[in-house]
Structure 1
Amino acid sequence: MVTNLESGGLQDRHHVVDALKEKQNVKALCAYLGISRSGYYAYLKRTAEDADGELKRKILAIYEQRNKTVGYRRIQDELYRQYGLVVNHKKVLRLMQELGIQAIIRRKYVYRTSYEAAVSDGRIAENLLQRNFKADGPNQKWVTDVTQYRIFDDRIYLSAVKDLWNGEIVAYHLSKRNDNPLVLETFRQAFETHKDVTGLIVHSDQGSQYTSHAYHGMLPKVGAQISMSRRGNCYDNASIESFFSHLKVEALYPYDIRSIEEAQRRIEEYIRFYNEERAQRKLNKLTPVEYRRQLVA
């Protein structure tokens, strides 16, 4: 091996070390080939700089092609799409920083502006519930929220309404989109099956669905009052959060769920079980539905 390399240059020997370094000790390889370790590492640095130089040229080309609006994630994607290069996103970011370039960031107005508009229009309601999660009868206090469950790259969103009197889920709706129709359809179902809700307090967080014009137009029409948690305070709506936690721990997390359809089936089955079969101590060991029917009887 050494005989074959004696007439070769230093670079050839560096190539040999590079090829064998995963299986052999670098120090031993360098000694065997008669080269210094410092020289080998200097060779590696030069090689990386040469490779980085070419990569930087490609990054700049993509950056200019896209009118300087792309960040390191999209440049990473374009490097693969245009050149077939698989480059770690952290390296792309580092090289962009060395080049002194970054995406021209669009200013984020949407959330701040919509929230301020909701405040100015009076669509941020007072916290009428004040963490008092007890009710003396049905349709006095409802709590509501939206939760999500992820299956690979997909998500399913569950909007639910819970009556604090007996803990019953009075309505729910599932969707692949977390938007206004998800919440509005939930309440359409709730008011369809619960006609007399005059004076009802409906408590939610300050999410965009609950500060929408449509939501604030829907509830007062049936005589319901809107209540909201303080901003960023999940404990103000702890009762519905507790239900979501039980659902995920008992019906979703223990299973290897592979599709949105399977998740939807398990959620629907659990809500039926929760309402009709899951006895609660605070209801004298009755289920929510049994407790409601006892009142009627």
Structure 2
Amino acid sequence: MHTMWKGTISFGLVNIPVKMHAATENKDIKLRNLHKECKTPIKYEKTCPNCDKEVNNDDIVKAYEYAKNKFVVLDDEELENLKKEQNDKAVEIMDFVKLDEIDPIYFEKSYYLSPNDGGAKSYSLLRSALEETGKIGIAKMMIRSKEQLAVIRIYENTLVVETIHYPDEVRDVKDVPNVPAEDTNAEKELETAKMLIDQLSASFEPDKYQDEYRTALMELIEAKKEGEEVTTSTEQPKPDNVTNLMDALEESLNRAQKDKKGKTKRKPAAQTKEKKKVAK
């Protein structure tokens, strides 16, 4: 697993040399843009609209636009010095809190932590302490030139860094338009909705959720590679003609109950064979 960051995690006087690895990966299928006529990949060139000419990386500087068409230019040395100043600091856990105190809206990206040379014992110590107390650590760290707020927690048997948004990065819910201020649901509608939720409740099993679009796209690509004739249906399933909220809830509840009964009736083959043996 590729190491993307090395550093030290500390709490109190305990220092843990660690390596950081990406815990997730983007499996989106990337499609290239080709020239329709000759099937050549399209290039996207960097040009200056004022000078009307192409520019290369050496001709580009970074700047902050503080007002319309007004910039503060920052050179590479200044940015590198700031970055080095932050990278040289150990990642210090500032607070320990309960995980359920943080709303999921704050969470951003996950990284695995592994102990670096000489860090196995202190790594194990922090893992055990977090597990025994049921707490997670809150820390700041530099990742890819950005100071990140992060939590350090346990996932299975491994320490995980979970980057989280700063409070000012989460937009105010008051700015969301058309949110009803009060609930105006009829009691029967609410009870039926709760029954539907109960019927559809289950334990979270991540393996049962698949990216069906990605799978279908890869099948299409593989079929085209093999030279097969491919036809794609454009007909979409028609929704039931249900316009009343209560009718929709009751119909959904009926379907959920039928699905649940169907799953209950289907017994594992091994269990059926066992019953046959007993009957003999």
Taking structure 2 as the reference length, what is the TM-score of the superposition?
0.19
> More helix per residue: 1 or 2?
1
Query: Bigger radius of gyration, 1 or 2?
Result: 1
Taking structure 1 as the reference length, what is the TM-score of the superposition?
0.18
Higher relative contact order (CA 8 A, sep 6+): 2
